[in-house]
Amino acid sequence: MTLHQLLNEGTDALVRAGDPEAKLDARRLLLEAFHLDTVHFLMNRMQQLEQTEAVRKAVCDYHCMIKKRCRRVPLQHIVGNQDFMGLTFKVNRHVLIPRQDTETLVETVLEEQKDRKKKVLDICTGSGCIAVSLAVLGGYEDVTATDLSPEALRLAKENAERLLDGSRRFRLLQGDLFEPVHETYDIITANPPYIPTEIIKELQPEVRDYEPAMALDGDEDGLGFYRRIVGEAQAYMNPGGSIYLEIGYDQGEAVTGLLEKAGFRNIRIIKDAPGLDRVVRGEGGCYV
């Protein structure tokens, strides 16, 4: 038996299960089971595997992981992590798996906000991917993140402890949106749940069956959280503060309208890598 054969076997099983990324996923799981990097895999894939206890265990782990993936358990839940902004975040079933889409939000903030002294608030933080990557890559000295889910916050705490060096103020607060917040901020970010309730059942099984509904479900029209966030945000912003919201590809106009109505200025929609509307930013910080 060779690694190459194991890869083909796993790929075939995943194709039959409808995995759209069968080959890539099988390879990732094989590397994970054998604790191999790509270079060693490519060098050794045609060699007969030795009959050691360690190899037997790796083969068994691999089969077990392929079986899970055949049930459409997300790859990230099987391996336990996901890369985001070049950092590795732990994930589990209590948080939304960080998406490349959300890197657009982080990149926009990093581009527009160079002052490290600015205070950052991230609501609906989940795994903490936005808050932690802003703290690490933007160097912001004071970052607060909130989430309603205590399980999500536990994971965000683990990610923060692993990825941050403790030289800055990083706080996690449990509560509904702004409920646990008692200070004002210069930058507010959020990737709230924004999928219309009816659409959730049409999503891929990985998302629909394994990711938390509370991180996806944006009420009947998908805009429920934006109404609340935009309505309350001004009260938590310093003068000249900015807000950055991730949105669904077809929500740019609606969220822009909400920001305008709440008195935000310089509102702009930013597109993601595939060219879809993905972030809306605006400036507020004074009452109108």
Token pair of 118 as six digits: 């600015």
Our finding on whether 19 is near ligand GLN (CB under 6 A) is no
Q: Round the CA-based radius of gyration of the chain to a whole number and report it.
A: 21
Q: Residue 93: phi, psi to the nearest 5?
A: -75, -5
79 makes contact with ligand GLN (CB under 6 A): no
Amino acid at the residue 272 = D
Output 134 or 216, the one with its CB closest to ligand GLN.
216
Q: Could you count the other beta carbons within 10 Å of the beta carbon of residue 248?
A: 19
Report the C-alpha dihedral over residues 267, 256, 276, 146, rounded to 10 degrees.
90
Q: What string marks each residue from 99 to 138 as x (binds ligand GLN by CB under 6 A) or -?
A: x-x-------------------------------------
Binder among 216, 237, 245, 267 for ligand GLN (CB under 6 A): 216
Work out whether 241 is an interface residue with ligand GLN (CB under 6 A). no
Q: How far is the CB of 123 from ligand GLN (least distance, A)?
A: 12
Closer CB to ligand GLN, residue 41 or residue 210? 210
- Smallest CA-to-CA distance from 17 within 55, 70, 86 is with 70
- Distance CA(226)–CA(247), nearest Å, equals 9
Cβ neighbours, 10 Å, residue 209: 12
x/- site string to ligand GLN, residues 176 to 195, per CB under 6 A? ---------------xxxxx
Whose Cβ is closer to ligand GLN: residue 49's or residue 200's? 200
What does the binding site for ligand GLN look like in residue numbers (CB under 6 A)? 96, 99, 101, 191-195, 207, 216
